[in-house]
Chain A
Amino acid sequence: MAIDLIFFVRTLVFPGFLFLLVLVLFFDWFERKVAARFQNRMGPSYAGPFGILQPIADYIKLFSKEDITPKQTNKFLFVVAPILAFSLFVFALFYIPIDGSNVILDSSFEGDLLLVLLLVTLANFGIFLSGWASLNPYSGIGATRILTQFLGYDIPLILLAIGPAFLAKSLSIVSIASSQVTVPFILLIPWSCVLFILVLQAELEKDPFDIPHAETEIVGGYETEYSGRKLAFIKLSEDFQFLIGASLVTVLFLGGFHGPVFIGPAEFWYVFWFIVKTLGVVFILEYVGNVSARLRIDQVVHGNWKLLIPLSILSLALTILVEPLLRSVIG
C-alpha cells in the first residue's frame, strides 16, 4: 500500500504531472520574458510578480473559450491528435530524471534515451496529424512543413545524442547524467553540444527554423483551425516539447541533476540544479532565436542533408577518436 502511495504521489504530484505542469508554465514565462528583453520589450508584467502568472492566465483563458470543430474536418483526428501529442510529450518527460530518478521509480532502463527520442518523434506525428486533419490550405502547408523539417532533423539529433551515450557507455539517461559528475560532457565534446543545440532549434521550431508556423506566410500553420481547449492542448504540447528539448541538453551535456549539494535533502538540490541548468539552455535557445531571421523551407532542408547530417557524423567520429584520451576524467 505504501508503495502505491509513493507511486501515485510521484506520478501525479511530484515530480510527476502537477510539478511538470507548473515547471512548464514557469519555463513558458521565462522564455517569454527573455525573448521580450531581447526585443527591447517588457514581456509579461501584470499577472503576479513580474508577470509570472501570465501563462496560467493564458491557459485558463484558452480552456474557457469556445471550442470550435469546423464542419469539413476529419473530426476524430482533429479532436484526438492534440491530446495524443500532449500525452506523448508528458510521457516522454516522465523519463527525464529531474530529482535524481525517473518519475516512475526504478523505471530507468538501458535504452530509455532512445525511448524518449522515439516518443518525441511520435508526438510530432500527432501535431502533424492535427494540421492535416484541419483540411485548411494553411494547416496543410504547415503540416507538410513539420514532416519535412522534423523528420529530416531527427537524424542528426539522434546521431548527436549518441555522442554522450558513447562516452558514458550507456543508453540510459540516468547513467549518462551520472557519468558527468566530475566533468560535464560539454567541456569534453563541445562540438557535439553546439551542433545539438542548433539541431534542437530546428526540432523546437524556433527561429531561424520556425517555418511550420510562420505567421506571415501561412497564418497559424497547423494550428490555424484550432481554438479553445484543443488549441490549449497544442500550445501545452509545444511548451512540453520545449522543456524536453532543453532538458535533453541538460542531461546529455551539462550533467543533468548533478551539482554541489548543500544543506537539506539531496533531492531538493537535484531539482534546483536541473532547473538552473535548463534555464541556461533556454536562454541560449532564445538568444539564437532572437538574432536570426526565419529561413526558407528549401534552405532548411538543404542545410540538414548537406550540412548537418555530415557534420553530425563527423562529430560522432571525432568523439569516438578522442574517447580513449577522455577516459580518465569520465566518472
Chain B
Amino acid sequence: MEKFETAVDVLKNNLADAIVELKVPRPRKAYILLKSERHRDAVSLLLKHVEESMLSTISGVDLGTEIELNYHMVCGGTVTLKNRVPREKPVTKTITDILPGANLYEREVFDLLGVVFEGHPNLERLLLPDGWPKGNYPLRRDWTPPLIQENDSGSEEDSQNNSEEDDVGSLVSVVVGPQHPVLHEPERFNFTVDGETVVDVKPRLGYVHRGIEKAAERMMYFQDVFLVERICGICNAAHTTVFCQAVEDIGNIETPPRALYLRTIVHELNRVHSHLLLLGVGGHLLGFEALFQHVWRDREPVMDIIEQITGNRLMSGFNTIGGVRRDINPNTVEKALKTVKAVRKRAVFYKNVFEEDATLRLRTEGVGVLSKEVALKLCVVGPVLRGSGVASDVRKDDPYAAYAEIPFNVPCYDECDTWARLMVRVDEVVESLNILDYAFNNLPGGRLRVRVQRKIPEGEAVSRVEAPRGELIHYVKSDGTAYPYRVKVRAPTLANLLAFPDAIRGGYIADIPSVMGSLDPCFSCTDRMAFVDTANGQKWRWSLDDVNSHKNRRVLL
C-alpha cells in the first residue's frame, strides 16, 4: 500500500505538467490521463522510483475519434496511465526500450486496434492469423465480422512450411506444435536446434482464438460472466471473480461478506486442482509417469468437493455480479474439511518427493534459469515470478475477496530454475489448503448476493486477482448501458510467454518440456480473438447465436 502511494506521489510531483486528470476512486487504484506522448516519462519514473514495478498490460479502447491506450502499471496497486492517440493516424512511441516486457502487449494492440508503436523491435502479428486481411482491426468499435472476405489473403509466408529453408549447416528446425505431446493445447513453437542444443525459438500464438473480448461487448454484463468463465476451464473461478469485481467496482456494489468467503473458497479449490494438475503434468513431461498418475488421483477428491459446492466438476458457474449463486451447507463443509486434511497430507508427501528425488532434481535444477532482474524486466507473473525470488502475490499486495482477513504465506524461491517454479506450486497447494481450512471454519453468515440492475453506470475499472498461473487482470469500461463498452482480458500465460525463449535458449531439447511445463502455459486463456483456421486458410465468423448454440459451446471450451 505504501508503494502505491509513493507511486502516485512520484507522478504528482515530477510530472505535474503532463497530468490532465488524476482519479483515485478506490484504494490502490489510480487512473491518470496524461498529455499525449508523455507515457514514456511516466513509465520510466515509476520504474525508477518504485521497487519491483511492472507492466500488467496495455489495453486499447476505441473512443470514436481517439484510441486510448491504458498502461496498467503494477506498483502495490494498479496505476493506469492513459495515453490517447488520434484514430486517423494511430502512431505512438514504444516503451519496449524502457521495459522489454511490453513487447507482446504492444504487438497485441497493434494487431487488434492498429496502433503503430514507433521503435518496437518486431511489430508483427501476435494473435490474428497470418492470412488476416490488412486494415481489419477487430477491436475497433465499428468493425464487424462481415468485413472479412473469403480468400482475401494477406501474406501466408510465416505458415508452417518454412522450416526446411531455414536449415543451415548443422542447425535444424524442430517444430513443436500446433499438435505435439508436450502441448495440451494448440500453439506452435519453432525451435532451431544444433544437435541437442536449442539455439532459438519463435513462438506463434493464436490457434485457439475465439473472439471473446469482442463478443463480450455484445452481451450484457450478467451474460458476460458466463462468457469470461469459458476463457479457460481450469481457472474459470479466477476469470469470473475478476470480472465480477471489475463490474462491482464500476457500479459501487457492496458484495456481502459470505459471498466473498465463498468466492475465496472456490477460487482456492481451483488453485489447488490446477497446481496438482500441473505437478502431475510436470511428472509426465519429465517421464515420471508414476508421479503423474498418483498426483492426478489425489486431484480427484478436490474435483469432487468443487462439484459438491458448485454443482459442476469444472465450470463452476458460481460467481455472479453482486455475490454468488449457490449456498454451501454444513454437510459439505464437514466433508470438504476432511478432504482438505487428506489432500494436505499428500501434498506434504509430494513436497518430499520433489525435494528428494534424485532424477527429478537432476532434470530440473539449473534448467531454464530466469534471473530476478530478467523476470522483472519481462514482467512475468505468478509462480514464475515467485520462483525467481520476487514475493509478489496479488492476494497479499492488493487483497480482494476475503484475503485481507485470512492469514497465509507467499512461498518464494531464489533458485530461479524449473525446480524452484515447481516447488512454489507445491508449497502453494499447502498454503491454499490452509486458506481453505480457515475459510471453511470462519464462514460468516448473511446474504449470498445483492440484486444488481442490468445497467451499470458509466465508468471504468481495473481488477486483478491471483489466478493459479499468476496475476490475471480484467479492464472493463462501461458507457452506462447494460452492455460493456470494452472488456480487456490479460491472462497470466501471455505475460509468462515472453520469458520462455529467454529461459530455454542454450538448453537441451530434453529441457523443452520441463521448462515449458514449469511456466504452466494455458493457451486458451491467452488466445481469445479470431476464428480463423490457418491450416486450410478457411475463415468463418460466429454470431451471438452461434456462440450460444450447444455445438459451438463445446468448441469454446
Contact = CB atoms under 8 A, between A and B. Distances in A.
Contacts of B360: 293
A140 B195 CA distance: 10
Interface in B266-325: 283-294, 297
B508 A216 contact: no
A217 interface: yes
Interface in A196-223: 207-208, 210-211, 214-219
A299 B287 contact: no
A219 B288 contact: no
A150 B509 CA distance: 19
Interface in B350-382: 357-360, 362-363
A132 to B, nearest CB: 14
Contact of A294 (B175, B287, B290): B287
Contacts of A41: 293
A210 B283 CA distance: 14
Contact of A296 (B173, B289, B358, B508): B508
- Among A40, A207, A217, A298: residue with most chain B CB under 10 A: A217
Contacts of B203: none
Contact of A137 (B174, B182, B284): B174
Interface stretch (B132-140, B144-152, B510-518): B510-518
Given A41-B293, A292-B359, A297-B510, A216 B283 contact: no
Contact of A40 (B283, B293, B508): B293
Interface residues of B, number: 34
A121 interface: no
B286 A218 contact: no
A166 B305 CA distance: 62
B529 interface: no
B363 A293 contact: yes
Contact of B182 (A217, A293, A297): A217
A38 interface: yes
B181 interface: yes
A211 B294 CA distance: 22
Given A138-B174, A293-B359, A217 B513 contact: yes
Nearest to B167: A137
Contact of B509 (A141, A210, A215, A291): A141
Given A137-B173, A216-B513, A217-B510, A290 B290 contact: yes
30 contacts: A39-B290, A40-B290, A40-B293, A40-B294, A137-B174, A137-B175, A138-B174, A141-B174, A141-B509, A208-B359, A211-B510, A214-B287, A216-B182, A216-B287, A216-B513, A217-B512, A290-B290, A291-B290, A292-B358, A292-B359, A293-B283, A293-B291, A293-B357, A294-B286, A294-B287, A294-B359, A296-B363, A297-B510, A298-B196, A299-B362
- The 7 residue pairs across chains A and B that have the minimum distance between CB atoms: A294-B287, A39-B293, A293-B288, A216-B513, A293-B359, A293-B286, A292-B359
Interface of A: 35, 38-41, 137-138, 140-141, 207-208, 210-211, 214-219, 290-299
Given A208-B287, A295-B363, A296-B363, 6 more contacts: A39-B293, A207-B287, A207-B288, A218-B174, A293-B283, A297-B510
